[in-house]
């Protein structure tokens, strides 16, 4: 277990915008820096290596005989980026977290189950970790030790989600906004205006399309982006923000999220849309600052869902998830003890795996060389009986040392 190592930089030790400084870059290979990672392995005496890069962390999970001390980290970052000066290396080395042995495995498992995530309970990290492993495996960067760790961390993550409530209660503003809409019983046939075509509204569109919304008009400063988002809906249409003034159709629901900095949904829009001041009307405003002019909220009967209220709900739900961490870490400690036993057993299997081949070779040598004349003098029945006896003894000679070793080293009865 002592060979397992983790060198990681995450939201806990640096600003997210600084993570790019720790990426392994290979100009010759845009998709995956396999040559750079192979160089890191060779230069640092690393046997197996898994490289994980997400928006919240850069993690190197590897096996090595060498301890990860300050000197090792300096050499490590010089390989990550050969252009780093000694000053930069000192800066980066101070920002990393290092785990070795049991603690390295514990960290890997906690990452896989999102116990160490910026958003506790989010499941995306497990998929990212699995993809990182599959890529490393495809390029033969890792082997049996990392395979065993990855198989078990996937089992552990699923165990956490099934035995704790850490994944319950949505914590993203988008998920909460959509749930608020569903709680109001808004029909998928409702006329929906989407204002803004940025990432947040695209994420909302994923849910709206799945739920069956189809009568959608998208308004955006750039027409091409408005059309692109609108085409995701069966009857979607794209317009510029200026055209929002000329639309005469009355919507039932507005979803808005722009980066304007000023009000985008104005009283004159409501007048042009012929919105009745007494007619219930829903606005989901996910912009900061808000896109909806305050005068609208005073003049009309608005069911207003704003980002401030949603963020408060998100924090309450996140606090619920954090409380589940206590249960999750108890499960982690128990699972880690089980993994240690599985790791020892696997190491024993590797150490003893030559025994079956050696016994088979010995049997073949005995029958074909040492006792070939004696065997030739036997009749068919005698040879068949002797063959059965030898096969039986062969299996026993293989199983006896296996069982004895497990009993001695692992405590198996």
Using CA atoms, how far apart are residues 308 and 134, in angstroms rounded to an integer? 40
Question: What CATH superfamily classification does 173-312 receive?
Answer: NAD(P)-binding Rossmann-like Domain (3.40.50.720)
pLDDT digits (tens, 9 = 90+) for 369-381: 888 888 888 888 8
Half-sphere exposure of 61 (CA within 13 A, CB side): 31
Using CA atoms, how far apart are residues 257 and 259, in angstroms rounded to an integer? 7
Using CA atoms, how far apart are residues 366 and 376, in angstroms rounded to an integer? 13
132 preceded by cis ω (within 30°)? no
Query: Which residues are 97's β-sheet partners?
Result: 8
Q: What is the pLDDT of residue 327?
A: 94
Q: What is the pLDDT of residue 11?
A: 84
State the span(s) of the chain assigned CATH 3.40.50.720: 173-312
State the span(s) of the chain assigned CATH 3.30.460.30: 4-164
Q: 242-247 long-range contacts, Cβ below 8 Å, gap at least 24? A: 243/219, 244/193, 244/195, 244/219, 244/269, 245/269, 245/272, 246/272, 247/217, 247/272, 247/273
Query: Which residues are 5's β-sheet partners?
Result: 62, 100
- In a structure prediction context, what are the per-residue pLDDT tens digits for the chain, which is 413 residues long? 899 999 999 888 888 777 888 888 776 666 789 999 999 999 999 999 999 998 889 999 999 999 999 889 989 988 888 878 888 888 778 889 999 999 999 999 999 999 998 888 888 899 999 999 999 999 999 999 999 999 999 999 999 999 999 998 888 889 999 999 999 999 999 999 999 999 999 999 999 999 999 999 999 999 999 999 999 999 999 999 999 989 988 999 999 999 888 899 999 999 889 888 777 789 999 998 899 999 999 888 899 999 889 989 999 999 999 999 999 999 999 999 999 989 988 887 777 777 777 778 888 888 888 888 888 888 888 888 888 888 887 777 667 766 666 666 555 54
Label the pairing between strands 57-63 and 48-53: antiparallel
Helix (H) or strand (E) holding 283: strand 281-285
Q: Quick check: 317 and 295 in contact, CB under 8 A?
A: no
Burial class (CB within 10 angstroms; exposed 0-12, middle 13-18, buried 19+) of 292: buried
Q: 228-236 long-range contacts, Cβ below 8 Å, gap at least 24? A: 228/197, 229/194, 229/197, 229/201, 229/202, 229/205, 230/194, 232/205, 233/205, 233/208, 233/209
What tokens does 386 get?
Answer: 């002797």
CATH topology of domain 4-164: Beta Polymerase; domain 2 (3.30.460)
């Amino acid at each position: 277990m002592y060979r397992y190592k983790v060198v990681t930089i995450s939201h806990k030790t640096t600003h997210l915008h600084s993570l790019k400084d720790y990426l392994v870059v290979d100009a010759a290979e845009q998709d995956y820096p396999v040559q750079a990672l192979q160089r890191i392995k060779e230069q640092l005496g690393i046997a197996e290596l898994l490289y994980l890069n997400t928006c919240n962390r850069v993690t190197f999970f590897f096996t090595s005989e060498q301890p990860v001390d300050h000197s090792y980290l300096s050499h490590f970052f010089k390989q990550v980026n050969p252009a780093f000066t000694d000053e930069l290396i000192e800066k980066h080395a101070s920002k990393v977290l290092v785990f070795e042995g049991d603690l390295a495995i514990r960290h890997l498992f906690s990452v896989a189950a999102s116990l160490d995530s910026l958003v506790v309970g989010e499941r995306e990290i497990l998929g990212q970790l699995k993809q990182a492993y599959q890529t490393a495996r495809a390029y033969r960067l890792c082997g049996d030790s990392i395979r065993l760790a990855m198989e078990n961390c996937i089992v552990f993550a699923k165990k956490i989600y099934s035995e704790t409530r850490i994944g319950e209660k949505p914590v993203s503003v988008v998920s909460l906004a959509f749930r608020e809409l569903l709680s109001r019983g808004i029909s998928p046939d409702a006329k929906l205006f989407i204002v803004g075509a940025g990432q947040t509204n695209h994420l909302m569109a994923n849910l709206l399309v799945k739920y069956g919304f189809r009568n959608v008009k998208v308004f955006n400063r750039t027409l091409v982006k408005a059309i692109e988002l609108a085409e995701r809906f069966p009857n979607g249409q794209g317009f510029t923000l200026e055209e929002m003034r000329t639309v005469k159709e009355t919507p039932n629901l507005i979803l808005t999220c722009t980066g304007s900095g000023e009000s985008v949904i104005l009283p004159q829009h409501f007048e042009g849309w012929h919105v009745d001041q007494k007619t219930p009307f829903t606005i989901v405003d996910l912009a900061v600052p808000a896109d909806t002019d305050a005068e609208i909220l005073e003049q009309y009967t608005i069911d207003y869902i704003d980002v401030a209220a949603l963020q408060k709900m998100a924090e309450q739900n996140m606090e619920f998830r954090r409380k589940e961490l206590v249960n999750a870490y108890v499960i982690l400690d128990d699972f880690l003890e089980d993994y240690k036993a599985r790791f020892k057993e696997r190491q024993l299997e590797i150490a003893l795996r030559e025994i079956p081949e050696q016994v088979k070779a010995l049997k073949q040598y005995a029958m074909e060389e040492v006792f070939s004349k004696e065997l030739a003098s036997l009749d068919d029945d005698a040879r068949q009986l002797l063959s059965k006896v030898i096969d039986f003894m062969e299996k026993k000679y293989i199983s006896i040392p296996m069982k004895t070793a497990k009993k001695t080293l692992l405590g198996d009865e």
